Homo-oligomer: A and B are copies of this chain.
Amino acid sequence: MEIFIEPIGRLINEFSKLPGVGKKTAQRYAYKIIDMSEADARAFADAVIGVKRKVKYCKVCGNFTEEETCAVCRTRDNSVICVVKEPKDVAAIEKLHEFKGVYHVLHGVIDPLAGIGPNDIRIRELLARLQTGKVKEVIVATNPDVSGDATAMYIAKLIKPLDIPVTRLAHGIPIGSEIEYTDDVTLSRAFVERNRI
């Protein structure tokens, strides 16, 4: 005899597909749904469907939007472009409320081992945006790992002939952490990128 009847087993299975969710956590989530009112469960399901139906990618920057172009592209200073790997990186930067420019979402990074080359991510679209002559800086904010670094270097090389400054986010010791506990790679990067005080 199955421990869970079919509809519950199915829901547990669906919740298990979420990142970091094991059987036990999926069970807790499923019990929560069972305890919800019919209307609340309906709202939950509608939100899942809604996100797939309504969320598109901005024609300009590639970020999430419900319109043709996103609110950032429509309203902000488009002379500074911040290049990121994924839409979730945009959310992380927007949370700071500091960057006033626009974004360019690559939807991936160059990763030869995974068979992802420059033509598989939105680099061509980035170059097209630079042809207007209005862009004064490109900030590359890819992750500080092998493929993130490679992508940043590749983009910098491509843009060089256009004479637009390309910058990268600083790497170093996280604020609030301790030198003793900083990993070796970060610590040596902090030496390389040291600043005059």
On whether the beta carbons of A5 and B55 are closer than 8 Å, the reply is yes
Asked whether any CB of chain B lies closer than 8 Å to the CB of A184, the reply is: no
Which residue of the partner chain B has the closest CB to A30?
B51
Which residue of the partner chain B has the closest CB to A29?
B18
Asked whether any CB of chain B lies closer than 8 Å to the CB of A153, the reply is: no
Q: Which of B7, B13, B27, B54 contacts A7 (CB 8 A)?
A: B54
Residues in B with CB closer than 8 Å to A29 are 18-19
On whether the beta carbons of B94 and A8 are closer than 8 Å, the reply is no
Give Cα distance in the complex from A87 to B31, angstroms: 9
Interface code A24-49, partner B: CB below 8 Å = 1, 0 otherwise?
A: 01011111111010101111111111
Asked whether any CB of chain B lies closer than 8 Å to the CB of A3, the reply is: yes
Of the candidate stretches A65-73, A113-121, A142-150, A157-165, the one touching chain B is: A65-73
Q: Contacts A4-B91, A27-B88 hold; do A48 and B33 have CB atoms under 8 A apart?
A: yes
Interface size on A, residues (CB 8 A): 54
A96 to B: closest C-beta gap in Å: 10
User: Could you list 30 A-B pairs, sorted by A, with CB under 8 Å?
Assistant: A1-B72, A4-B64, A5-B55, A5-B71, A6-B54, A7-B54, A8-B51, A10-B51, A11-B47, A11-B50, A11-B51, A13-B47, A14-B48, A17-B32, A18-B29, A27-B88, A30-B51, A31-B88, A33-B48, A33-B51, A33-B52, A34-B52, A34-B64, A36-B52, A41-B49, A41-B51, A44-B48, A45-B46, A45-B48, A48-B48
What 6 A-B pairs have minimum CB-CB distances, sorted nearest first? A45-B45, A7-B54, A41-B52, A45-B48, A14-B47, A11-B47
